[in-house]
């Protein structure tokens, strides 16, 4: 039997609808939530992502402003843009779109963001608060995944969870959130031996490895819940159609497909539930960014 589809887009719509009254109330009190976005360079994926976030803000009534800097911008120029957003009372949340160009010191830039406006949850202070289980803001993708599990009533406590990937953006905070929800957590990475065997221990498997179709049926325990975080552009026709055979027309039209880290056709026959790509984790990331921005505005309004 094919796996149940974990519809992240539907959950994201529900989250946004729940936020609307809060946005209206804050605006009525003169504290309309505002998001300041910093985009450096013209990376196509980042540009599309920022555009999606801007549209989502407009739909919800959140003020959104994007500062664009050239790809050759220095660390000092990027830092100055962050400092300017920090100083503005009408900007409640700051998003530094990653990745930054190589010449920019990403750690220094993220450390400059006011922790009270760090709606991406990347500042060292907010990461530390998450470790201590007293979070202010949590990285949006892992937070969105926890919402997906909660709203689909997938139990976490007492279950084995495996996170494939150890990035600061997804893997590490994901592991902490699952741990705080009383799962027993294993984090895998490029040096993990016998990856498939480790993955097969999981009741909940989170794929955030960054390689198209890397996790296949042999990585999945029968009945496991699989969450696919990957977003990979595949231009090879054979691989694209192997991973998403039902999207052949889309490939012919675009010349590429966006696919996940999971080999969906094979995994869907083994897992009990699977998040799709697209339409799974991506919309949730944006929804949680909006939720964090609204929370930041409310907190700053309270003083």
Q: Which residues participate in catalysis according to the annotation?
A: 53, 97, 120
**23-42: string of b/e by CB count within 10 Å (b at 16+)?**
beebeeeebbbbbbbbbbbe
Q: How far is CA 3 from CA 27, 71, 231, 269, in A?
A: 42, 42, 20, 6
Q: CA 47, 246, 240, 188 torsion: positive or negative?
A: positive
**Residue 274, strand partner residues:** 5, 226
**65-98: string of b/e by CB count within 10 Å (b at 16+)?**
eeeebeeebebeebbebbeebeeeeebbbbbbbb
Contact (CB, 8 A) for 160 and 183: yes
């Amino acid at each position: 039997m094919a796996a149940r589809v974990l519809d992240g887009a539907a959950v994201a719509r529900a989250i946004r609808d729940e936020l609307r009254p809060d946005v209206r109330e804050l605006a009525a009190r003169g504290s309309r939530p505002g998001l300041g976005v910093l985009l450096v360079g013209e990376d196509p994926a980042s540009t599309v992502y920022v555009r999606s976030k801007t549209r989502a803000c407009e739909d919800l009534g959140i003020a959104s402003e994007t500062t664009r800097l050239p790809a050759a911008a220095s660390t000092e120029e990027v830092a100055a843009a962050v400092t300017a957003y920090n100083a503005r009372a009408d900007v409640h949340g700051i998003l530094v779109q990653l990745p930054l160009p190589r010449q920019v010191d990403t750690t220094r830039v993220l450390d400059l963001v006011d922790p009270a406006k760090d709606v991406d949850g990347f500042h060292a202070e907010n990461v530390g608060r998450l470790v201590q289980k007293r979070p202010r803001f949590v990285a949006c993708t892992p937070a969105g995944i926890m919402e997906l599990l909660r709203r689909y009533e997938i139990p976490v406590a007492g279950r084995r969870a495996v996170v494939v990937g150890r990035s600061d953006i997804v893997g590490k905070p994901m592991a902490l959130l699952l741990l705080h929800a009383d799962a027993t957590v294993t984090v895998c990475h490029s040096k993990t031996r016998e990856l498939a065997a480790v993955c097969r221990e999981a009741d909940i498997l989170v794929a955030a490895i960054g390689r198209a179709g890397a996790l296949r049926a042999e990585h999945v325990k029968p009945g496991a819940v699989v969450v696919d975080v990957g977003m990979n552009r595949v231009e090879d026709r054979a691989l694209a159609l192997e991973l998403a055979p039902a999207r052949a027309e889309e490939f012919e039209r675009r010349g590429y497909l966006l696919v996940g880290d999971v080999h969906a056709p094979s995994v869907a026959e083994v897992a009990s539930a699977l998040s799709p790509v697209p339409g799974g984790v991506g919309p949730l990331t944006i929804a949680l960014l909006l939720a964090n921005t609204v929370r930041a505005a409310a907190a700053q309004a309270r003083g």
